[in-house]
Structure 1
Amino acid sequence: MEELSNVGSRPRVVIVGAGFGGLACAKALADTEVDVTVIDRRNHNLFQPLLYQVATAALSPADISEPIRRTLGRSDNIHVLMGEVVSIDPNARTVSLADGAAIPYDRLVLATGSKYNYFGNEDWQKHAPGLKSIHEARQIRHRLLLAFEQAERSQDEAEQRRLLTSVVIGGGPTGVEMAGAISELGRFMIERDFRTLRPEQLHVVLVEAGPRILATFPENLSNYAADYLRNIGVDIRLNTPVEDVTAEGVQVKDGFLPASCIVWGAGVKASPAADWLGISPGPGGRLPVARDLSVDGLEGVYAIGDTALALDEDGEALPALAQVAKQQGTFLGKALKSSLLKGAAVPNFRFHNRGNTAVIGRNAAIFDFGTWQLKGRFAWLLWAIVHVYLLVNFEKRLLVSVQWIWRYTTRQRGARLIDENFIAPDK
């Protein structure tokens, strides 16, 4: 096996994953006497909270993504590798890649995020993509926009009804955001740009297995979101588990829902980091970590973000949110710098909750800060400010801000393009 090693004797930190946590950790170690290697199977970082806007033609992929090398390229001590991890040897302290390379480390940070959990029904994924990658967002956008074009030409009433039906599975923030965005996009497009279709023909179904949507939010905010969605035409089906997903639609306990576009947002599971390490994962496939974010029983190995099963002071698992990953990444990067260069012990991580949020539609969002809450237009403005601020650089912030202002003023979607060469996985 080929081995890649850093020149010199400086401490070596390998970070696997360049999402919120991985980037934050790398930036905290930038321009120090530590050699940092960042490994990701993609060449770009991605602002996943806004992927639903790519899927619904509000933004283009380049608006919410950036090459990792550009983000970290100013720091001479950071080396970026595009590669896929296949195993980790904690004894030899090496990370093995699919091309046979072995990357040595003194400290290893696993920040590989999560993927959607289809609960053993992996064949559903080709019919119901989630929102974890640009490819999936483009796939959803393609199906949505193409369905409207096909419905415009269809003379078959049943087929037209299927083409104008979208089913979103899962009533969490992603499902709620997608359902609201599809309804608003579809009704505006039909009203403005199509001649044989009527807005009332659009049918957006939000399917949730539990008794209410946004179950992690207080009930009053959940009810507000449900009322808003119903007012803009979303059909919410509660206590409705999915039994099957096909290219033609979704089978639920009450019958079959014919649909042209199906979106999965019903739950996530961690990356296969536990398999790489040869250890048993915790709930959701996450790696159990100590209070200092070290993986239990493995010296020099740390996990952050969705990969880690980290507990708060009350023993509750920290949620798989961007703010958790970012705080953990910054904390761990600074702690490792002090540990490697000064011999200091890595302290315990403490999460500072900045609030949990979900956008529901135009002028509508919710915020839960624990002791107080926001909903409506002001929450929507705050949501927009926070998400613009979290984008990776000033250029992206400016681009997204300008497009949002234009879209809000005109209601136009600037990325309504159908790639005629795009081939969906189920075709």
Structure 2
Amino acid sequence: MQNKHHLVVVGGGFGGLSLVQALRKTDIDITLVDKRNHHLFQPLLYQVATGGLSPANISTPLRELFRKQINCRVVMDEMVDLDLTTRQILLGDKKLPYDTLVIAAGATNSYFGNDQWATHAVGLKSIEEATEIRARVLSAFERAELSTDEAEINRLLTFVVIGGGPTGVEMAGAISELSHHTLKGDFRKIDATKARILLVEGSDRLLAAFEPTSSARALHSLEKMGVEVWTKSRVKEIHPDHIVVDHQGSLQKIYAGAIVWGAGVKGNTIGAKVAAACGVTVDRGGRIPVLPDLSVANHPDIYVIGDIAAAPMEEGKFVPGLAPAAMQMGEFVARKLKSRLVGAKDPGNFRYVNKGNMATIGRAQAVVELPFPKINFGGYLAWLAWLFVHINYLIMFQNRLLVMLQWSWTYFTRNRSALLITHPREEDMKPVVGAVSQPPTV
């Protein structure tokens, strides 16, 4: 009796899920490997980081997702290496054989060679990071309430977001709403509405991947919300209580109560090992170069999809690291495998279909760009479109319902239901006695 073809998929993100679900009716044995037991809807992590949603609202256990898909087995483990000779992936001290391997391991934060910054400026790629940011932001308000030093209060009520892409814009807007509305009147000594939110971006405009008109809309909306935006500004140093920024040619030292990193991502660390084993080199973003059919050169049994793939498009561009792109890649590889194994029509090479860009800025404010027809718009209508798309992309019906109810409550009351400091750091628990007087800027 011949064994079934064994497909191993590493990563339970959008790409991995789309691939496995598209193969649910095939006679293929599938093993899905992920170091966590849940699928995470990363686009809404900033809502967890600012208390608008709970982690369970945007994550779903993988075993629950594939409970009824009998050809799929879920393994909670982390891939650490690849053995091409024996056609196995290494999971710690265990090995898992494959006939076809798909790497969909996603991306992590990139500090552009300054990995020591990660301790002081938390990125936003996991639930752990989102709850850490939430703890740091809320702890800053709590410590400010206890302080008797005006300069220290100013420092604690200063929040710096680094990076003017969608993550940075969404975080800055959410922190502004949190301080200026949700926490208004909650403290007796400090005025939460006096918080300073600073967004630092290295290029000359926000949302560089969007049209200039969308960038201008985002800037205008943020400034109306009280967010201070610095463009043409590059971070030089990050310390526990301050950053040093080259702001349009002038070095500035900004003392802050919490620092959030949203300036860059890179392929998961396993990408470099997979690339080395396959005889290729990852690009500057840590992504594995792939052929137009998403396979690795000289290895037709290994595919790479999602944020970890450097997939070519026309004019020397690459497929963007977006959830819709990862889903399209997963569905494409599923069709490719069906053509190889069950004689279905060969889909040829992968073609990314751009369905548009969108980013939310704050309450009833967003920007949306659609390619067909080519239009872009902002404001309340764009915000409604953003809400609809993100609720629709949530995997489970119960999550869609919970998020819709939470957002409705937040919209009408401006309250946030998950303002919890779940794992305070030791330094956040120390009493504030006088504190060191430091000017907020130099």
Fold shared, TM-score > 0.5 on shorter chain? yes
Matched residue, 2:159:
166
Q: What's the counterpart of residue 184 of structure 1?
A: 177
- Counterpart AA for 2:27: E
Superposed CA RMSD in Å reads 1.7
For residue 90 of structure 1, report the CA deviation from its aligned partner: 2.5
What SS is found at the alignment partner of 1:148? helix
Q: CA deviation at 1:13?
A: 0.6
Q: Counterparts of 1:274 and 1:303 in 2: how far apart (Å)?
A: 12
Return the offset for 1:149: 1.4
Structure 1 residues 344 and 200: CA distance shift in structure 2, 3 A: closer
What residue in structure 2 maps to residue 368 of structure 1?
Answer: 369
Quickly say closer, same or farther: Cα 1:343–1:226, change in 2 above 3 A.
closer
Counterpart for residue 150 of structure 2: 157
CA contact (8 A) 1:24 1:329 kept: yes
Residue 99 (structure 2) pairs with residue 106 (structure 1): yes
Which among 226, 237, 241 is matched to residue 244 of structure 1? 237
| Preserved CA contact (<8 Å) 1:339 1:346 | no
Structure 1: how far apart are the matches of 2:155 and 2:75? 44
Counterpart secondary structure, 2:112:
coil
- Look up the SS of the partner of 1:216 in the other structure: coil
Match of 1:412 among 388, 406, 415: 415
Counterpart CA distance in 2 for 1:14 and 1:346 is: 21
Partner of 2:287: 286
| Structure 2 contact 103–303 (Cα < 8 Å) conserved | yes
What is the CA–CA distance in structure 1 between the aligned matches of 2:38 and 2:119, rounded to whole Å? Answer: 23
**Counterparts of 1:8 and 1:204 in 2: how far apart (Å)?**
62
Query: What CA distance in whole angstroms lies between the structure 1 residues aligned with 2:121 and 2:383?
Result: 28
Structure 1 segment 42-81 matched on structure 2, within 5 A = 42-81=36-75
Residue of structure 2 equivalent to 1:397: 400
1:331 lines up with 2:324 in the alignment: no
> Which structure 2 residues correspond to residues 11-410 of structure 1 after superposition, within 5 A?
11-98=5-92, 100-253=93-246, 254-272=251-269, 273-278=271-276, 279-342=280-343, 345=346, 347-370=348-371, 371-410=374-413
Aligned residue for 1:300, secondary structure, equals strand
The one-letter code of the counterpart of 1:392 is I
| Residue 234 (structure 1) shift | 0.6
Give the Cα separation in 2 of the matches to 1:293 and 1:304. 7
Q: Secondary structure at the match of 1:274?
A: helix
Question: Which whole-Å deviations, capped at 9, do the CAs of 1:363-397 have from their partners, x for residues lacking one?
Answer: 11011123211211100000000000000111110
Q: Deviations over 1:278-317 (max 9, x none)?
A: 1311231111111111112223000111111112244421
Deviation at 1:406, TM superposition (A): 0.9
Letter in 2 for 1:9: N
Give SS of 1:241's match.
strand
How much has 1:239 moved relative to structure 2?
1.1
Question: Cα offset for 1:424?
Answer: 6.9
Q: Contact 1:90–1:277 (CA<8 Å) still a contact in 2?
A: no
What is aligned with 1:423?
425
Aligned amino acid, residue 86 of structure 1: V
Kindly tell me: are residues 57 and 184 of structure 1, through their superposed partners in 2, closer, same or farther at Cα, counting changes over 3 Å?
same
Write the distance in 2 (CA, Å) between the matches of 1:173 and 1:344: 38
1:338 positional shift: 2.9
Instruction: Report if aligned partners of 2:275, 2:288 keep a CA contact under 8 Å in 1.
Output: no
For the residue of structure 2 that corresponds to 1:398, the secondary structure is helix
- Mapped partners of 2:407, 2:32: distance in 1: 32
The CA distance in 2 between the partners of 1:26 and 1:290, in whole Å, is 21
Partner Cα separation in structure 2 for residue 337 and residue 27 of structure 1: 13
* Alpha carbons 1:165, 1:258 under 8 Å: kept: yes
TM-score when normalising by structure 2 = 0.91
1:139/1:424 contact within 8 Å kept = no
SS at match of 1:23: helix
> Which deviates the most, 86-95 or 254-263?
86-95
User: Deviation string for 1:222-280 (max 9, x for gaps)?
Assistant: 01100110111111111110011111121112221111110001111111313234131
What CA distance in whole angstroms lies between the structure 2 residues aligned with 1:139 and 1:72?
A: 30
Contact 1:31 1:76 in 2 (8 A): no
Structure 2 counterpart of 1:405, one-letter code:
S
Task: Please report how far the alpha carbon of residue 345 of structure 1 lies from its aligned counterpart in structure 2 after TM superposition.
Answer: 4.2
Q: CA deviation at 1:318?
A: 1.2
Q: Percent identity?
A: 46
In the superposition, the TM-score normalised over structure 1's length comes to 0.95
- Provide the C-alpha distance between the structure 1 equivalents of 2:184 and 2:216, rounded to a whole number of angstroms: 29
Residue type of the alignment partner of 2:410: R
2:281–2:289 contact (8 Å) kept in structure 1 = no
Count of residues in correspondence between the two structures: 419
Answer yes or no: is the 8 Å Cα contact 2:9–2:33 preserved in 1: yes
Residues 339-372 of structure 1 show CA distances to partners (whole Å, capped at 9, x for unaligned) of 2222764521111111111101111101112321
AA partner of residue 261 (structure 1): A
Shift of 1:59: 0.1
- The worse-fitting range, judged by mean Cα deviation, of 338-347 and 250-259 is 338-347
Find the counterpart in structure 1 of residue 433 from structure 2: none
Q: Is the 8 A contact 2:170 2:359 kept in 1?
A: yes
What amino acid is aligned across from residue 145 of structure 1 in structure 2? L
Q: Contact 1:44–1:65 at 8 Å: present in 2 too?
A: yes
Superposition deviation, residue 426 in structure 1: 10
